[in-house]
Structure 1
Amino acid sequence: MSSQARPVTQPETQEAFKSIPAAFMETVERVANKPAYFVRGETGWDATSWTEYGEQVRTAAKALLALGVNPGDTVCILSYNRPEWTIMDVAAMMIGAVPTGIYWTAAPPEINYILRHSEGRILLAETKAQLQGIGEHADSMHHLRKIIRLDGHVENPDQYTWANFMSLGQDSPGLEVELDRRLNEIEAEDIALQIYTSGTTGQPKAVQISHRAIRAESDALDLVFRATPADRYISYLPMAHIAEQCGTILHACDTGYPVYYAKSVTSLGEHLPEVRPTVTFGVPRIFEKILEKVEKQLDAETGFKGKLIQWSLQISKDWQAQNLNGKSAGLALSIKKKIANYLVLDKIKRKIGLDKMRMFVSGGAPVSMRVLEGFTGLDIVIYEVYGQSENCGGATINVIGATRLGSVGRPMKGISIKIAADGEILCKGDTNFSGYAHDPASTDEIMRDGWLYSGDIGYLDKDGYLFITGRKKEIIITSGGKNISPTGLEHDLTEIPLVEYAVVAGNNQTFLSALLTIDHQMAQRFASENNIKPEDVLQSDQLRSVVQAGINKVNARHSRAERIRKFEILPSGFSIQTGELTPTLKVKRAKVLNNHADALETIYKHDA
Structure 2
Amino acid sequence: MSAANETAPSAGGFVADRPAHGITHTMPQLLERLAAQRPDQIALQEKRYGIWMPMTWKVYRERVRDFAHGLAGLGVQRGDVVAVLGDNRPEWLIAELAAQSLGAAVVGIYPTSIGTELTHVLAVSRARVVVAEDQEQVDKLLAMDAESADGVLVEHIVFYDPHGLEQYDHPMLREFTAVEDAGREYAKGRDGWLDDEIARSEPESLAVICTTSGTTSKPKLAELSHANLLSMADRLTEVDPIDASFRYVSTLPFAWIGEQMLAVACSLHTGFTVSFPEDSSTQRADLREIGPDVMFAPPRIWESLLSEVQVRIDESGPLKRAIFGWGYDVMDRAATVRAEGKKPGAGLKLAAGIADLVATRPIREQLGLTRIKRCYTGGAPLGPDVFQFFHSIGVNLKQIYGQTEICGIAVLHRDDAVSFASVGEPLPGTEIQFGDKQEIMLRSSAVFRGYHRNDDATGEAVTRQGWLHTGDAGYLDDNGQLIVVDRLKDVVFADDGTMYSHAFIENKLKFSPYVEEAVVFSGTGLDVPEAADADAAMCAIITVDPATVGAWAEHNRISFTTYTDLASKPEVYDLVAEEIATANEGLMERIRVNRFVLLHKQFDPDDDEITRTRKVRRNVIGERYAPIITALAEGQEELTMESTVTYQDGTVAQRSLPLRIFDLTGYSLPAGRVRRKVWSGRK
TM-score (norm 2): 0.84
State the shift of 1:106 in Å. Answer: 0.4
Q: 1:599 aligns with which of 623, 628, 632?
A: 628
State the partner residue of 2:159. Answer: 149
- Structure 1 segment 37-116 matched on structure 2, within 5 A: 37-116=44-123
Aligned to 1:457: 473
Matches within 5 A, 1:518-529: 518-529=544-555
1:350-365, aligned counterparts within 5 Å? 350-365=365-380
The question of whether the paired residues in 2 share the 8 Å contact of 1:108 and 1:133 is answered with: no
Rounded Cα–Cα distance in structure 2 between residues aligned with 1:209 and 1:125 = 22
Deviates more, 1:506-515 or 1:79-88: 506-515
Farther-moved stretch of structure 1 (551-560 vs 459-468)? 551-560
Once the two structures are TM-superposed, the CA of residue 532 in structure 1 deviates from its matched residue by 2.5
User: How many angstroms does 1:353 deviate by?
Assistant: 1.4
What's the offset of the Cα at 1:377? 2.4
**1:139-218 equivalence runs, <5 A:** 140-141=150-151, 143-152=153-162, 153=165, 154-171=168-185, 172-218=187-233
The change in CA–CA distance for 1:570 and 1:180 in structure 2 (over 3 A counts) is same
Superposed displacement of residue 579, structure 1: 2.2
Cα distance, 1:502 vs. partner? 0.5
Distance 1:427 1:3, change over 3 A: closer
CA 1:528–1:321: 2 relative to 1, 3 Å: same
Q: Is the 8 A contact 1:125 1:150 kept in 2?
A: yes
CA–CA distance in structure 2, aligned partners of residues 479 and 324 of structure 1:
34
1:284 alignment counterpart: 299
Secondary structure at the aligned position of 1:170 is classed as helix
- Deviations along 1:148-188, one digit per CA (max 9) or x if unpaired, are 12233453333211121111210424544221112111123
Q: How many residues align?
A: 606
| Equivalent AA in structure 2 for residue 512 of structure 1 | M
Deviation at 1:297, TM superposition (A): 1.5
**C-alpha displacement at 1:599, in angstroms?**
1.8
**Distance in 2 of aligned mates of 1:546 and 1:302:** 23
SS in 2 for 1:249: helix
Structure 2 counterpart of 1:21: 28
Matches within 5 A, 1:398-437: 398-437=413-452
For residues 309-333 of structure 1, the C-alpha deviation after alignment (integer angstroms, 9 at most, x for no partner) is 1111111111122223321101001
Q: What residue in structure 2 maps to residue 443 of structure 1?
A: 458
CA gap 1:365/1:264 in 2 versus in 1, 3 angstroms: farther
Contact 1:63 1:165 in 2 (8 A): yes
Alignment map for 1:227-306 (pairs within 5 Å)? 227-306=242-321
* Structure 1 residues 545-583: Cα deviation after superposition (integer angstroms, max 9, x where no partner): 332233334344444442322111112222322222322
| Aligned counterparts of 1:428 and 1:191: Cα–Cα separation in 2 | 19
In 1, Cα distance between the equivalents of 2:6 and 2:335? 30
Query: Secondary structure of the residue that 1:500 maps to in structure 2?
Result: strand
Letter in 2 for 1:380: V
User: For 1:340 and 1:597, how far apart are their aligned partners in 2?
Assistant: 50
Distance 2:72 2:246 in 1: 34
8 Å Cα contact 1:326-1:401 kept in structure 2: yes
User: What is the aligned partner in structure 1 of residue 484 from structure 2?
Assistant: 468
Partners of 1:179 and 1:145 in 2: CA distance: 23
CA root-mean-square deviation:
2.6
Unmatched 5+ stretches in structure 2: 9-17, 526-530, 637-683
Match of 1:486 among 502, 508, 512: 502
- Deviation string for 1:69-114 (max 9, x for gaps)? 1111010000100011000001111211010000101012211111
Runs of 4+ in 1 over 4 A off after TM superposition: 11-14, 173-176, 476-484
Does structure 1 residue 329 correspond to structure 2 residue 344?
A: yes
8 Å CA contact 1:283–1:585 kept in 2: the answer is: no
- State the alpha-carbon separation in 1 of the partners of residues 426 and 445 from structure 2: 13
- For the residue of structure 2 that corresponds to 1:187, the secondary structure is coil
Q: Which amino acid aligns with 2:28?
A: P
Partners in 2 of 1:59 and 1:593 — Cα distance? Answer: 50
Provide the rounded CA distance (Å) in 2 between the counterparts of 1:327 and 1:551.
33
- For 2:233, give the aligned amino acid: S
Mark the CA change 1:279 to 1:569 in structure 2 (over 3 Å): closer, same or farther. Answer: same
Alignment of 1:521-540 (within 5 A): 521-535=547-561, 536-540=565-569
Q: Select 2:597's aligned residue among 552, 568, 582.
A: 568
Question: Residues 471, 266 of structure 1: CA spacing in aligned structure 2 closer, same or farther, 3 A cutoff?
Answer: farther
Offset at 1:512? 2.5
Q: Distance between the aligned counterparts of 1:487 and 1:500, measured in 2?
A: 14
Letter in 1 for 2:573: R
Structure-2 change in CA distance of 1:446 and 1:481 (3 Å): same
1:498 counterpart residue number: 514
Matched residues in 2 for 1:564 and 1:89: separation? 47
Distance of aligned partners of 1:478 and 1:105 in 2 relative to their CA distance in 1, 3 Å threshold: farther
CA contact (8 A) 1:5 1:421 kept: no
* SS at 2:53 equivalent: strand
SS at match of 2:275: strand
When structure 1 is superposed on structure 2, of 450-459 and 348-357 the one drifting more is 348-357
Amino acid at match of 2:543: T
Q: Give 3-state SS (helix, strand or coil) of 1:181's partner.
A: helix
Change (3 A) 1:492 1:347: closer
Alignment-mate amino acid for residue 4 of structure 1: A
> Contact 2:123–2:149 (CA<8 Å) still a contact in 1?
no
